[in-house]
Structure 1
Amino acid sequence: MAEGNHNYDSETKSSRLPALKLDYNPTVDHLMNCPITVGHDNPGGDRNSDKAAIRVMIVGDSISHGAEGDYTWRYRIWQWFQAEGIPTKFVGPYKGTQPPNKPSRPQRPFAAGGKACTAIPATDGGYAMDIPEDWDSNHFSVWGRQAAQTRDLIEAEVAKYHPDLLLVELGFNDMGWFVSGPEGTLQSMSEVIHNARKSNSHINIALANVPHRTYISGRDDLVANTRKYNSMLSEIIPSWSRGDSLVHLVRLQENYGCGTDDCPAGHDGLHPNALGEFQIAQAFSRTLVNDFKIGARELGVPLIVPQRPTPVPDNIQVVSAPGGIIVTWDAVYGAYSYDLRSRIVGTEWSKTPIAVNRFDNNWVSDGMEWEYQVRTNNGEHVGISDWTQVKSAVAHPETAPGPSNTIVTATSDGIRVTWQKPTGPYTDSIEGYELFVRSVVAPGTYIKSKWETGCRAEFQGLERGQHYVIAIASWNTAGCGIPSHTWPATPGHGRPTAPLNLQAQNVDPTTVQLTWDNGSVAAAGYRVWVRQVSDGAEWQADRDDIIMNSSHGVAFLFPGTWNFEFCVTAVNGHLESGKSNHVIPLRWLGHC
């Protein structure tokens, strides 16, 4: 098989990879703060070969790089050149797509300033199985690549590979990952052109605008910035052209069926599926025909595009391990992702998206039986397979519990936390602690994390006035244990004032619903206190953890709710307010 045509890690065209061999040996490789390198895997660049051919370099990000099993729009534009009878030589340092990540056990993070590394782009992924072996797949496109990065790399690549024509698709990552706004992205793009011309003053460039992706909650900026950038690019791009070095706009966004409301031409709301690959290639071909006078007819988009194989995964295996429960299955070649659903036997299913053919369920308790199923998920516009059969295992983890006696303090722009090392089974092999900060407003979103070997940590740069919780997990030789959670804290504020207007409403004779008003912006959470009226008992917290909203139900109040008194306090870390007004529920009608 010719290099660069299919799956470079395999000598077979099988659509499945063998099941993973389970390995419990600790792995601590963790890449952090890695400098960008090019990492050439194509030693080509002889400008004397194929002298009559146009040397084409495709410069892009993940939209151009593609994933394992894709055709890519690069292949579709190559087909168009062939159909038009235009001799071309595709050039660049890479040949493949982005391969899937390798399945492995969860890895312990490194402390800041820890292991040094060099990030070499992963470019040895395979293409769709039916791509011919004479496909000229060389390119300069990398998953996650920004115009701000490419501007510093393009001069050397043009000098090495001598392209006559650049097909450039960049800019989404600059705005999508807050690298720069539309103005900064436009400046980076102008520098890409300027630096490419340093190595070839006669180079021609077809430059695409940036597509929209389906709307992400809280990212109105991305929609507005993409529109502004595309408008600015359209206005300025004529001024970038020279008589001996043309630059013309490719209206990718207008031709690509992916927008803020829906993305039928994509598989995940941004990246192209088989239809989208044709549409992007068509947009480039249109500019080549109309503006560069290369070719006679633009590429046509077929009514029926190839269907991506989406089989049910084979060979699902579920085993108990020291780190928890491990689920593996045979990798499906070209699968964009998988869905895994899990449950404790007798409970409801919970679904999790998975990128690789392994799932480690670390946060399990001893003796609990868990069930699992897996399916291939190539996106709603491509295909989702049926579920595998159900497999189960009983957990017997040897992980350590999270720390105890955590003390949290809000600082001017962050949170400081201290804790005590936990005691009990498996705590003697604790190596350190992984801390996660999450927003109370968006509980599923972890904002920052860090690794500590001591019993103290501080997070800075958090938003003043927002409420945050820290989860702390112990790592031992078996892996990561179930984390403990701190009390919530509000950076930039001190002790909160007491909640106001506490009210009690009976739900039934032994259940009461409490509501109150937030009396302080510093309040990150609340504690409900209860005592029995008849015997003058001491106040006791209704539960050990913190209530995150301003209502709470209390049940099993025998012989009746009216025999109990309630109040509420507010907390900011371990700073606690005084008690609110006290309330005693009304007697339930018909009860003594």
Structure 2
Amino acid sequence: MSDQSGLPQLVEPTRILITGDSITQGTSGDYTWRYHLWNKLVELDLPVAFVGPRSDLYDFESGEFGSATYAQAFGGQSHGAKWGSSLLLDGPEITEQVESSMPDVLVEVLGSNDLACLATPGETVERLLTYIDRARAARPGIGIVVGTVTTRYDVQLERYTLESESTEYRALLSQLAAQLDTSGARIVVADISTGFDPRTMTWDGTHPNEAGERVIAQRIFEALGGLGIGPVDTHAR
């Protein structure tokens, strides 16, 4: 694009802050779903920048943060996700993250640890509402993508867990998004749980392997389309 002088105009990238727990941060040796999402956006030549206070992975073997050992380095490693995070314990951090990162879009994938620690789906949605309110207060008009919660698979007992909780949370999340979505402050749901099989798409029943990462990235990509970033997805709501 160029102006009347014929000189090219610089397009400011859309700043995207991705927050979440271990499913989003990843551990040493992971690609992470953030990597696959970044590639999808870059392949379409979309002007985006991932922002956030950290760029690291969690090292599962040492139990320490700060690993830079991605399976493949990429240009969008900045994020706001942290292993072990929950809406209850880490919700207040979103104010500082938004104020320091100044994102245009917030992608939130939390709630799994809340539900796993016996918070009801209703309680978890209430925590998310507070989270959203804090983000909007720090950055009025911010676009928001909220992710559903994937089920888990107990590899020892060979059974799925969080199934009913995930289903109820997804329904409540859709209702919340419909209530909060306005033309001046958009919010859409990324349904990362439908079609996600933790038995085959994780390496331990919870954390995604590359197949799981690709599924999550695709669902987030589709939801971003609902905010005008990339192709419009008719399923984003």
Match of 2:46 in 1: 86
Match of 1:124 in 2: 67
Match of 1:256 in 2: 196
Task: Tell me which amino acid in the other structure corresponds to 1:224.
Answer: S
Asked if 1:194 corresponds to 2:120, the answer is no
Distance 2:193 2:49 in 1: 27
**1:293 alignment partner, one of 224, 228, 235:** 228
- What stretches of structure 1 move > 4 A for 4+ residues in a row? none
Asked if 1:175 corresponds to 2:121, the answer is no
Mapping of residues 102-501 of structure 1, within 5 Å: 102=62, 122-128=65-71, 131-132=72-73, 134-178=74-118, 180-215=119-154, 222-258=162-198, 263-289=199-225, 291-296=226-231
Distance 2:224 2:164 in 1: 29
Q: CA deviation at 1:224?
A: 2.5
Q: CA deviation at 1:125?
A: 4.0
Deviation sequence 1:129-173 (CA, Å, 0-9, x none)? xx24x5220000011100112321101110011011111111010
Three-state SS of the structure 2 residue aligned to 1:254 is coil
Distance 2:193 2:147 in 1: 8
**1:63 alignment partner, one of 23, 29, 33:** 23
1:125/1:176 CA distance change after superposition, 3 Å: farther
Contact (CA 8 Å) 1:288, 1:295: kept in 2 or not? yes
More strand by share: 1
1:200/1:265 CA distance change after superposition, 3 Å: same
Q: CA deviation at 1:227?
A: 2.0
Deviation sequence 1:200-241 (CA, Å, 0-9, x none)? 001001111100111586x99833322221221122211111
Distance 1:97 1:220 in 2: 27
Distance 2:11 2:53 in 1: 19
Three-state SS of the structure 2 residue aligned to 1:141 is coil
Contact (CA 8 Å) 2:153, 2:161: kept in 1 or not? no
1:84/1:100 CA distance change after superposition, 3 Å: same
When the two structures are superposed, what TM-score results if normalisation uses the length of structure 1? 0.36
- How many equivalent residue pairs? 222
Contact (CA 8 Å) 1:100, 1:125: kept in 2 or not? no
Q: CA deviation at 1:90?
A: 0.8
Task: Tell me which amino acid in the other structure corresponds to 1:284.
Answer: I
Three-state SS of the structure 1 residue aligned to 2:65 is coil
Match of 1:404 in 2: none
Q: CA deviation at 1:184?
A: 1.1
Three-state SS of the structure 1 residue aligned to 2:200 is coil
Distance 1:172 1:60 in 2: 9
Distance 1:256 1:96 in 2: 25
Contact (CA 8 Å) 2:151, 2:161: kept in 1 or not? no
1:255/1:222 CA distance change after superposition, 3 Å: closer
Contact (CA 8 Å) 2:36, 2:217: kept in 1 or not? yes
1:285/1:220 CA distance change after superposition, 3 Å: closer
Task: Tell me which amino acid in the other structure corresponds to 1:222.
Answer: L
Distance 1:126 1:228 in 2: 36
Three-state SS of the structure 1 residue aligned to 2:205 is coil
Contact (CA 8 Å) 1:84, 1:296: kept in 2 or not? no
CA RMSD of aligned residues (A): 2.2
More helix by share: 2
Distance 1:191 1:242 in 2: 17
Distance 2:129 2:193 in 1: 19
Deviation sequence 1:543-583 (CA, Å, 0-9, x none)? xxxxxxxxxxxxxxxxxxxxxxxxxxxxxxxxxxxxxxxxx
Task: Tell me which amino acid in the other structure corresponds to 1:251.
Answer: D
Higher relative contact order (CA 8 A, sep 6+): 2
Three-state SS of the structure 1 residue aligned to 2:23 is helix
Distance 2:126 2:48 in 1: 30
Contact (CA 8 Å) 1:81, 1:88: kept in 2 or not? yes
Task: Tell me which amino acid in the other structure corresponds to 1:83.
Answer: E
Distance 2:191 2:113 in 1: 18
Contact (CA 8 Å) 1:202, 1:245: kept in 2 or not? yes
Task: Tell me which amino acid in the other structure corresponds to 1:212.
Answer: T
Bigger-Rg structure (1/2)? 1
